[in-house]
Amino acid sequence: MKLQPDRLDVQSILGYGPGWIGVANQGVAEKIEHSVVIGSRGEKFDWACDRFEDLTEAHFARLVDSGPELVIFGSGTRLRFPPPAFLRGLMAARIGVETMDTIAACRTYNILAGEGRKVLAALLMEAPEGAAK
């Protein structure tokens, strides 16, 4: 039983595919083909990383400043976990972190943002297999 309506005024992910997502914020849609961080309170910034292997602790430390209650990390085309040291700043700030592939992260973000949660999705966009970047 649903007790409260979904929030339609939050930034949401409209679609996704290999190497891209579609994001809508206040009626404006945008196709994004690079790694990005989006948030339920309108946050959106590039996440300068093309491959999982290029991630560093600094990528995750930047997320603390937005003050989410939860970070959904989309690890690309498959599930991969960052080293625990990369998450140290988030854990110290008592910010939850969930890791899943990027497509699952998109779906989870939409659900949590629609519930009014303070959530960030840090989404790694990798070029589809065999595609040149």
Mean pLDDT by 10 residues, the chain (133 residues): 51 91 87 96 93 95 96 96 96 97 96 95 83 51
**What pLDDT sits at residue 130?**
56
CB 23 within 8 A of CB 30: yes
Q: Per-domain residue ranges for the chain?
A: 12-123
At a CB cut-off of 8 Å and minimum separation 6, what does 60 contact? 71, 82, 86, 87, 89, 90, 122
Strand partners, 32: 21
CATH homologous superfamily for the domain 12-123: MTH938-like (3.40.1230.10)
**What pLDDT sits at residue 133?**
46
**What pLDDT sits at residue 129?**
62
Read off the pTM: 0.88
**What pLDDT sits at residue 8?**
56
**What pLDDT sits at residue 9?**
73
